[in-house]
Every structure is written in C-alpha cells, then in structure tokens.
Amino acid sequence: MRTNRIELPPYPSDEDHAPLLVDLALAEVVFARDVADGDLVLGIADLFGRVEYHNDQYTARPQPFDPTCQCGGCNTYDAAEGPFVNLGDDNQWQVCDSMPAEWLVVIVRAAHLA
Ligand SMILES: [Zn+2]
C-alpha cells in the first residue's frame, strides 16, 4: 500500500549524503512490510511527515526478521513487540536494517530502476 500523505523534502546535497542515483520524483513512501526485493531504500519517514534520508541509498533484500540475529540491527528489538521486518544487510551499515513492520520507508520501486 502506498502512502501519499507525505511530501518528500529535497534530497540533501551535502558531504554527508551520497549523490542520489535516481530521480526523487520516482520515490514513494510505503510501509516497511511492503518493501520488496530490489527496491531502492532512500530513508525513513514518520507519521508526522518528517523524512530522514539515509546517508546512502541501498537495495532492499528483505528476509524474515530473526530475533536471534546478533548483528546489532535486529537485537535492538524485542520480538514480542513485533511484527518486525528485515530489509536486508546489503547496505552501508553492514547490519540488518530491521524495523517495525508499520514504519514508513522512502523507496524507489525496483521497476523504476534502470
Ligand atoms: Zn540482523
């Protein structure tokens, strides 16, 4: 499900952020549980419309949330408070990008990527 209520702010062009490799006009905000394999993850958003872009974009490789994973991204969550999703660890942090399934994620769908 797409969430259209959030207006994306301009992508920061500073030394903390890698150059954006896609057209921001293609980006959309979806629930974390709806991120699909190959989608490009740009950042996260909250229900108040605030958007926080990651320092670099990465390609989502969703996998089941594993509460026993000790990567540093998963073990900050208590599985009993789930559901959580794991967008994969093929990213700049080298740990799983796990989060509550209802969090909002800024992505560009794989279908829009060349
Ligand atoms: Zn992990």
pLDDT of 8-27, one tens digit each?
999 999 999 999 999 999 99
Q: Which residues neighbour ligand 1 (ion) by CB within 5 Å?
A: 69, 71, 73-74, 96
Give the mean pLDDT of 23-42. Answer: 97
Which of 45, 10, 41, 44 has the alpha carbon at shortest distance from 107? 41
Helix (H), strand (E), coil (C) string for the chain: CEECCCCCCCCCCCCCCCCCCCCHHHCEEEEHHHCCCCCEEEEEECCCCCEEEEEEEEECCCECCCCCCCCCCCCCCCHHHCCEEECCCCCCCCCCCEEECCCEEEEECHHHCC
**pLDDT at residue number 2:** 52
pLDDT of 57-66, one tens digit each?
999 999 999 9
Confidence check: pLDDT of 48 > 50: yes
Q: Report how far ligand 1's centroid is from the alpha carbon of 74 (Å).
A: 4
